[in-house]
A = this chain, B = another copy of it.
Amino acid sequence: MKVLVLGAGQLARMMALASKPLNIDVRAYDVGSAQVVDPLSVSVTFGDLVTGIEFADAITAEFEHISHDVLACCEASGKLFPSSQAIKTGGDRRLEKNLLAQASVNNATHKVVANKAEFDDALATLTLPLILKSALAGYDGKGQWRLKDLAQAETIWQDVDTFIKEDTSDQQQAVVVEQMVPFDREVSLVGVRDKNGETHAYPLTENHHTNGVLSVSLATNEHQALQQQAAEAFDKIAAGLKYVGVLAIEFFQVGDSLLVNEIAPRVHNSGHWTQQGADTCQFENHMRAVCQLPLGSTNLVRPTAMINVLGTDTVPDSILAVPSVTMHWYGKSKRPGRKMGHINVSGFDRSELLARLKAVAVLLSEEDFPEVLDYVNQLT
């Protein structure tokens, strides 16, 4: 089998690494250079998008912010999984909110705002504090504003208005204004669905964000009550999109309830722990779904955590001496805040995992891994 991945970043790379043992040949379309490349060696090029579409038995994506023209070309070949509709939904909070409403899945109360009148209406209708999120192309904390007091409204609107007008994408930019959810925890569910509608969900993952970016994920199989709630939301959303492949759902946990924060129609950073912690990792399961192979079990093999490596290309070698530590570098050049790699840590049970996680965290610098040690130290 031959697969073309739209996007040539770390997710395409890890899909390619998981695919080699399955004899699935993966190439990646770099939307920046408009070239098809080897995701394991991005300086090796294979031609343009048309060549890539011809090469492939199946086409998939590593991110959702892809031009609709590119998606249309791929969909016309009949090889695109998930569908362009699913990918677009993940890339546009308006479509996402419509989907959640249609699937009757709990999420934060919101209004779509594209002009001052809609903004004023949102302020009049919703209860403060609010969070404003760009409808298109905003993730990892970019294109977001928090409005806690009406005194901030005018300043924030100026910012948002400029942001909307500056957008040059082929869709119309807007912001989704949500009531801020007073959540206890952020958790996510990664799952996979095949062409016949069979689904498997990985154990719920607890996520810690630092400055709006995921810093630590923890999967320990200890949330059976929530697991079922999340898996039901997954099934509804995935069925609504006739989804094929791995799909991630981020939730806010409020008491014993889950509210969907956002969905990602792809393998997800909060599922990287599955490489060491699950029967079949998310990258392999995505490829199995896209290539119409039987899905693999998503069961937890052992409690596993992931620490993101952001903006640095070095970590102390000494972390490798902690049992079960696996380093995953993405082979990228360093830039501030850039996702450079991740560290997976496992343990026989939660207690062993936390001991090892703490042993790793104390070796990491506060400068390169802000809040990680504090977060890990308060886990019990």
Contacts and interface: CB of A to CB of B under 8 A. Distances in A.
Contact of A20 (B295, B317, B318, B331): B331
Contacts of A301: 301-302, 324, 346
B23 A323 contact: no
A317 B295 CA distance: 10
A294 B323 contact: no
Given A17-B17, A288-B320, A324-B279, A22 B293 contact: no
A346 B297 CA distance: 12
A209 interface: no
B302 A324 contact: no
Contacts of A294: 317-318, 320-321
14 contacts: A17-B17, A20-B40, A21-B327, A21-B328, A21-B329, A22-B329, A23-B329, A40-B40, A279-B324, A284-B326, A288-B320, A295-B321, A297-B323, A302-B302
Q: Size range of the interface on A?
A: 35 or more
Contact of A21 (B17, B21, B23, B38): B17
Contacts of A58: none
Interface in A300-323: 301-302, 317-318, 320-321, 323
A347 to B, nearest CB: 10
A296 interface: yes
Contact of A320 (B17, B41, B296, B325): B296
Contact of A279 (B17, B318, B323, B328): B323
A45 interface: no
* Best-surrounded residue of A297, A302, A331 (most CB of chain B within 10 A): A297
* Best-surrounded residue of A20, A288, A318, A325 (most CB of chain B within 10 A): A20
Nearest to A313: B23
Contacts of A188: none
Interface string A37-51: 010110010000000
A179 interface: no
A84 B323 CA distance: 31
A221 interface: no
Given A21-B329, A23-B329, A296-B325, 13 more contacts: A13-B20, A17-B17, A17-B20, A20-B40, A21-B327, A44-B44, A279-B324, A288-B320, A294-B320, A294-B321, A299-B323, A301-B302, A301-B346
A179 B275 CA distance: 46
A280 interface: yes
Contacts of A318: 294
Contacts of A297: 323-324
Contacts of A331: 20, 23
A379 B45 CA distance: 50
Contacts of A284: 326
* Best-surrounded residue of A13, A44, A321 (most CB of chain B within 10 A): A321
A210 B294 CA distance: 29
